[in-house]
């Protein structure tokens, strides 16, 4: 396997891919050949990602067998592209090879997928992915010295294993993002293995890589969930809002042309077609850079970089400045006499143009808020265009928009006040209780993750000048994690209603939810509230995780308790841990003190 030539290689988070087949519209030949060469050189890594994401239970040894088969397939096709097997789509070849691995379909329970063909087979493998990875063993950790020695002894096996472990735990992350993470991991390993204090180096340099992976994962799952649950129109609305904010000088005609590239075939990336993701990401970048004069003044240097570095550069670029001649309001949607006639001529184009004009004028608003305003405007026109005097009716649209934003702003202000008043720990407990009460069916691991992410969002945003957009965007991503990517995920009637009814308004919907009244606590497992001396060996972070799990499990077992009573029991539990870990016989102490908590 060739060197991982990846620095900066990343899917454009705000854009989406075209089909796997070569583009029918003109594209720079060099870009196509460079992308093809990249895929050929990294076929092993791409195979590991796809296999580990589709079948998360598969062992590393089983993955290595498939890598060998796919590498042999590549070599045969490079030697003779006219062979019949070389005309197949890459993902089809991959799935055929997965199904051909002796005994594996039965062992890992995906034989039913192998009996299907084409799109049905791809969707079957997609639905086999599990967002909750609690069934997997803990991520293996190596001592820094051991890690460096392993890398030095066998770089290829070391990186293969890393990509395998990260991919199976992030089954919905796009392949180019995982390749970027792998490249950064190798870069970090090279640097830290030369350092005296290797442990500190790894700890410091790993954090931004982890944050990059988490942010990418959250965004990609959110957008894929929108596509799966609400369809292409909602996906296009998200992309219009994002593109118009980032590139406010782009003309609407150019925007619609770009959308044809970025929104038409997003399903490939969402369903894990790694090669399609990589190829079409290159096509999108070519489109942007070929029209950079009319799209943005901030990406010139990025477009001068070689592929694949330019992609990450464009993502990192700042929002372009708003054109000086752009009026603060676009009157054609609220003050003209013929608004209804224009809407009726082509409602899809009309609403897309409204969202474009409003988004480019309001960089201070979040993407969900822009979609809410578009929804409010669409509903207003439905009413006004049947009124006796439509212009008098829709002339008050700006008031409706401000009213909508005011409601969203109050939610954000309340959340930031909670953050300022409660502090990180108490705020996390607040969200753990709230989330568990409204969605007790969700696993303990997932609930503790979501509670922590909500606090992170507020800690990140509540001191920024762009507080509103930051909080609303990030908190909406956390709700996207809860709702999940699959359209068939069911939690309980109230949560499902918020997740599946209206993408833009799910934040306000969740804000109004109370404890799930349909929930019946399961019988308490005998060992759920049994504690041992391992609590005394746990470091601060690990002990905090155990406390979080205790609280979530407590809410699941005793949902009728008030928030105050639950927090009081958490305090009692903390006191028991402190007391027993100081005792001469911690185990005996836990056995004596735990029943007094009254949680069993």
pLDDT, tens only, 348-401 = 999 999 999 999 999 999 999 999 999 999 999 999 999 999 999 999 999 999
Residue 415 pLDDT > 80, yes or no?
yes
pLDDT of residue 364: 94
Q: How far apart are alpha carbons 260 and 255 in whole angstroms?
A: 9
Q: How far apart are alpha carbons 5 and 323 in whole angstroms?
A: 38
pLDDT level of residue 24 (50, 70, 90 thresholds): very low
pLDDT level of residue 21 (50, 70, 90 thresholds): very low
pLDDT of residue 303: 86
28 or 450, higher pLDDT: 450
Specify the residue for token string 């969202």.
Answer: 355
pLDDT of residue 8: 28
Q: Specify the long-range contacts of residues 477-481, CB closer than 8 Å, at least 24 apart.
A: 477/218, 477/219, 477/222, 478/218, 478/450, 478/453, 478/454, 479/506, 479/507, 479/510, 480/218, 480/221, 480/222, 480/225, 480/226, 481/218, 481/221, 481/222, 481/446, 481/449, 481/450, 481/453
Per-residue pLDDT averaged across 210-215, rounded? 90
Per-residue pLDDT averaged across 146-154, rounded? 94
pLDDT of residue 435: 97
Q: Can you tell me whether residue 16 is helix, strand or coil?
A: coil
Residue 115 pLDDT > 90, yes or no?
yes
Evaluate whether 54 touches 16 at the Cβ level (below 8 Å).
no
Per-residue pLDDT averaged across 534-550, rounded? 90
pLDDT of residue 418: 93
Closest by alpha carbon to 555, among 569, 566, 570, 545?
566
Specify the residue for token string 């399903």.
Answer: 267
557 or 260, higher pLDDT: 557
Q: CB 357: neighbour CB atoms within 10 A?
A: 18
Q: Is the peptide bond before 308 cis (omega within 30 degrees of 0)?
A: yes
Lowest mean pLDDT among 123-132, 208-217, 265-274: 265-274
pLDDT of residue 64: 95
Evaluate whether 167 touches 52 at the Cβ level (below 8 Å).
yes
Please report which residue ranges of 90-143 form alpha helices under DSSP H.
Answer: 90-100, 104-107, 111-114, 118-127
Percent above pLDDT 90 for the chain: 65
Q: How far apart are alpha carbons 174 and 277 in whole angstroms?
A: 7
Residue 38 pLDDT > 90, yes or no?
no
Residue 593 pLDDT > 60, yes or no?
yes
Per-residue pLDDT averaged across 162-167, rounded? 96
Q: How many CA atoms lie within 13 A of 508 on its CB side?
A: 16
Q: How far apart are alpha carbons 214 and 226 in whole angstroms?
A: 18
Q: How far is CA 364 from CA 352, 409, 503, in A?
A: 19, 12, 20
Q: How far apart are alpha carbons 544 and 431 in whole angstroms?
A: 15
145-166 per-residue burial string, b: 16 or more CB within 10 A, e: under 16: eebbeebeeebeebbbbbbbbb
Per-residue pLDDT averaged across 550-575, rounded? 94
372-389 per-residue burial string, b: 16 or more CB within 10 A, e: under 16: bbbbbbeebbeebeeeee
pLDDT of residue 45: 94
Closest by alpha carbon to 48, among 109, 94, 113?
94
372 or 281, higher pLDDT: 372
pLDDT level of residue 304 (50, 70, 90 thresholds): confident
pLDDT of residue 588: 92
Q: CB 502: neighbour CB atoms within 10 A?
A: 16
Residue 152 pLDDT > 80, yes or no?
yes
Q: How far apart are alpha carbons 537 and 548 in whole angstroms?
A: 17
Residue 594 pLDDT > 60, yes or no?
yes
Q: How far apart are alpha carbons 446 and 443 in whole angstroms?
A: 5
Specify the residue for token string 């639905």.
Answer: 127
Mean pLDDT estimate for the chain: 88
Evaluate whether 450 touches 477 at the Cβ level (below 8 Å).
no
Give me the DSSP letters along 439-465. Answer: -TTS-HHHHHHHHHHHHHHHHHHTTST
Q: Can you tell me whether residue 484 is helix, strand or coil?
A: coil
Question: Is 273 flagged in the annotation as binding?
Answer: yes
Residue 27 pLDDT > 80, yes or no?
no
pLDDT of residue 22: 26
pLDDT level of residue 282 (50, 70, 90 thresholds): confident
């Amino acid at each position: 396997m060739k060197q991982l030539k990846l620095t900066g290689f990343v899917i454009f988070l705000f854009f989406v891919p075209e089909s796997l087949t070569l583009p029918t519209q003109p594209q720079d030949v060099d870009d196509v050949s460079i992308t093809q060469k990249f895929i050929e050189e990294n076929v092993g890594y791409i195979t590991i990602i796809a296999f580990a994401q589709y079948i998360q239970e598969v062992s590393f040894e089983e993955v290595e067998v498939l890598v060998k088969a796919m590498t042999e397939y590549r070599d045969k096709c490079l030697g003779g592209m006219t062979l019949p097997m070389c005309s197949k789509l890459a993902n089809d070849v991959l799935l055929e090879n997965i199904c051909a691995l002796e005994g594996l379909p039965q062992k890992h329970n995906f034989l039913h997928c192998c009996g299907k063909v084409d799109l049905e087979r791809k969707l079957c493998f997609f639905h086999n992915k599990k967002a909750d990875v609690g069934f997997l063993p803990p991520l293996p950790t190596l001592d820094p010295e051991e890690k460096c020695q392993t890398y030095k002894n066998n770089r290829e096996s070391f990186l293969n294993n890393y990509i395998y472990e990260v991919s199976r735990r992030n089954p919905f992350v796009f392949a180019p993002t995982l390749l970027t993470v792998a490249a950064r991991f190798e870069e970090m390993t090279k640097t830290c293995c030369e350092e005296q204090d290797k442990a500190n180096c790894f700890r410091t340099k790993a954090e931004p890589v982890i944050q990059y992976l988490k942010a990418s994962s959250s965004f990609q799952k959110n957008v894929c969930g929108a596509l799966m649950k609400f369809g292409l129109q909602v996906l296009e609305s998200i992309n219009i809002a994002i593109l118009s904010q980032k590139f406010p000088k782009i003309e609407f005609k150019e925007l619609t042309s770009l959308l044809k590239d970025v929104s038409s075939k997003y399903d490939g990336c969402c369903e894990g077609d790694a090669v399609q993701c990589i190829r079409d990401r290159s096509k999108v970048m070519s489109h942007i850079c070929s029209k950079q004069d009319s799209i943005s003044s901030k990406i010139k240097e990025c477009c001068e970089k070689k592929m694949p570095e330019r992609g990450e550069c464009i993502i990192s670029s700042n929002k372009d400045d708003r054109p000086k001649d752009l009026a603060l309001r676009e009157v054609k949607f609220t003050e003209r006499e013929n608004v209804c006639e224009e809407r009726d001529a082509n409602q899809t184009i009309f609403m897309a143009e409204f969202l474009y004009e409003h988004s480019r004028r309001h960089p201070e608003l979040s993407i969900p808020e822009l979609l809410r305003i578009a929804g409010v405007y669409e509903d207003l026109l439905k009413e006004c265009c049947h009124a006796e005097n439509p212009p008098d009716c829709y002339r008050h649209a700006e008031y409706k928009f401000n009213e909508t934003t005011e409601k969203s702003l109050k939610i954000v202000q309340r959340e930031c006040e909670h953050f300022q008043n409660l502090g990180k720990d108490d705020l996390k407990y607040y969200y753990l209780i709230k989330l568990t009460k409204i969605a007790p069916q969700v696993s303990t691991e997932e609930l503790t993750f979501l509670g922590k992410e909500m606090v992170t969002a507020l800690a990140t945003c509540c001191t920024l000048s762009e507080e509103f957009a930051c909080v609303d965007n990030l908190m909406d991503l956390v709700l996207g994690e809860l709702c999940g990517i699959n359209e068939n995920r069911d939690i309980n009637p109230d949560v499902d209603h918020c997740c599946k009814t209206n993408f833009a308004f799910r934040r306000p919907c969740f804000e109004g939810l109370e404890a799930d009244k349909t929930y019946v606590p399961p019988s308490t497992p005998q060992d759920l509230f049994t504690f041992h001396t391992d609590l005394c060996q746990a470091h601060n972070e690990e002990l905090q995780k155990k406390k979080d799990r205790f609280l979530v499990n407590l809410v699941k077992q005793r949902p009728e308790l008030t928030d105050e009573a639950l927090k009081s029991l958490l305090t009692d539990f903390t006191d028991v841990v402190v007391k027993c870990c100081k005792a001469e016989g911690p185990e005996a102490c836990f056995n004596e003190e735990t029943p007094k908590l009254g949680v069993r």
